[in-house]
Amino acid sequence: MSIEENLNNVEADLKERKITLVAVSKTKPVEDIQTAYNVGVRDFGENKVQEFMKKQPLLPDDIRWHLIGHLQRNKVKYIVGKVYLIHSLDSIRLLNELERRYSAKKLTANTLIQINIGREESKTGIYVDDLERLIGACEKCTSVKVKGLMAVIPKGDEESCRHYFKEMKSIFEDLKKREFKNISMDILSMGMTHDYKIAIEEGSTLVRVGEGIFGKRNYNK
């Protein structure tokens, strides 16, 4: 199916609930992004800073870029003022670098805290046990705001997916009830091509869909 047809199908699933669709364009050419843009998509997700830097200048200015991959501290300087939302705040050291670079430019970094909900060694994101400490550090910032949470859950069957989505939703709701400086729980970023429908049922507010829109990725090109 074409990118347009895929988008129609995915958007039909999101309709009537106020769910944000981020079209994950990693590894895909700018032509594909332009195609999706032309039918109205404005939120795009990339996971690598270098790839983002190559594509961003070639595409319209009103695209909202979402950085969904692990962010190394030494790459922060390249993205200041260029991304709409960083989904992968996962350490106090990264927080400090964001604070330093964004305050120097008098800008604000909007972020989500990424939680490694399945405690998988292969994945980034903080463990739930370390959440309070990171939140404490965020409260001291002037140039970083936390808008919610993000997770990439372990691969598994529907029951397993639901379990992890429910855990994320419960952490999200618990934090929402509390009052923090610099932190609001507006966005719960969870759900990808194969599980976004389940994620929505479990309370996701933003889904990140790549192959379901742009087709299979080829990493060997």
Ligand X SMILES: *Cc1c(COP(=O)(O)O)cnc(C)c1O
Q: Which residues bind ligand X (CB under 6 A)?
A: 24, 26, 47, 68-69, 152, 192-193, 208-212
H-type alpha helices, the chain: 3-14, 30-38, 49-55, 76-79, 92-104, 131-139, 158-176, 196-201, 211-214
Cβ 207 to ligand X shortest distance, Å: 8
Contact yes or no for 118/93 (Cβ under 8 A)? no
Q: Which is nearer to ligand X, 56 or 204 (CB)?
A: 204
Among 56, 60, 53, which Cα is nearest to 76's? 53
Cβ 70 to ligand X shortest distance, Å: 9
Q: Which is nearer to ligand X, 45 or 141 (CB)?
A: 45
Q: At CB < 8 A and 24+ separation, what contacts does 76-83 make?
A: 76/101, 77/101, 78/49, 78/53, 79/49, 79/52, 80/105, 80/107, 80/109, 81/105, 81/107, 82/52, 82/56, 83/52
Q: Which is nearer to ligand X, 48 or 162 (CB)?
A: 48
Cβ 197 to ligand X shortest distance, Å: 12
Cβ 208 to ligand X shortest distance, Å: 4
Q: How far is CA 139 from CA 95, 133, 134, in A?
A: 11, 10, 9
Q: Which is nearer to ligand X, 76 or 86 (CB)?
A: 86
Cβ 46 to ligand X shortest distance, Å: 9
Q: Which is nearer to ligand X, 172 or 196 (CB)?
A: 196
Q: Which residue carries 């299979």 as its tokens?
A: 216
Q: Which is nearer to ligand X, 117 or 141 (CB)?
A: 117
Q: Find the residue with minimal CB distance to ligand X.
A: 210
CA–CA dist 75, 73 (Å, integer)? 5
Cβ 184 to ligand X shortest distance, Å: 22
